[in-house]
Amino acid sequence: MAKTDENKNYKVIAENRKARHDYAIEDDLEVGIVLEGSEVKSLRVNSANIAESYAEVKEGELWLVNGYIAPYEQAKTFGHEERRRRKLLCNKRELARLWNDTQRKGMTIVPLVLYFNHRGIAKMKVGIAKGKKNHDKRADKAKQDWNRQKQRLLKHQG
C-alpha cells in the first residue's frame, strides 16, 4: 500500500478488522466497485461499513452483498439504496479462480478494505478465506501474545 504523505488521494474508507480474526486469509485481490454518484460523495466523507458484508460469484459476475454506504444528505431526490448489491470488477481469469476456490475448497470471499487509490478511484481488497474454528483462534491469540512478550524481552535486553 502507498503512504498517505506520498499520495494525497490515497484514503482508507472502511476496513473489516474482524475478518483476519474470523478467517484464515489465503490470498487477496484488488477489485473495482461500481458505484452511483451519491455513493461516491458519501464515501468521500467516510460513511461506509463492510464488516457484515461478503462477496459472491453469481451468474458469471462478482457481487458485494450487504455492504453499507450511508445516504448522502445533499442528494435527496437522486440518492441511493444503502445496502444494495454492488458489482465488483475483476477480469475473467481472476473471477474463474475465485469461483473455483469457493466451489471446490469450501472457501468464501471476504471484503477486507474499501479505499480510494492514488488516482482517487474507489477500490476494494477482497480475500479468499477459510473460516477459523475456536481452537485456531485461541492458538493465534497465544502466538500473538508470545511474539509480543518476546519483543518486550528483546527490547529490555538490548
pTM for the full model? Answer: 0.78
Nearest in space to 108 (alpha carbons), one of 32, 156, 55, 34: 55
* Distance set, CA 50 to CA 40, 72, 114, 124, 147 (Å): 15, 17, 8, 10, 29
**Residue 5 has what pLDDT?**
55
**Residue 34 has what pLDDT?**
92
Asked if pLDDT for residue 4 goes beyond 60, the answer is no
- The CA R_g of the chain, rounded to the nearest whole Å, is 18
* Distance set, CA 157 to CA 36, 73, 150, 152, 153 (Å): 56, 56, 11, 9, 6
When pLDDT is cut at 50, 70 and 90, the band that residue 138 belongs to is confident
Lowest mean pLDDT across 3-7, 50-54, 76-80, 98-102: 3-7
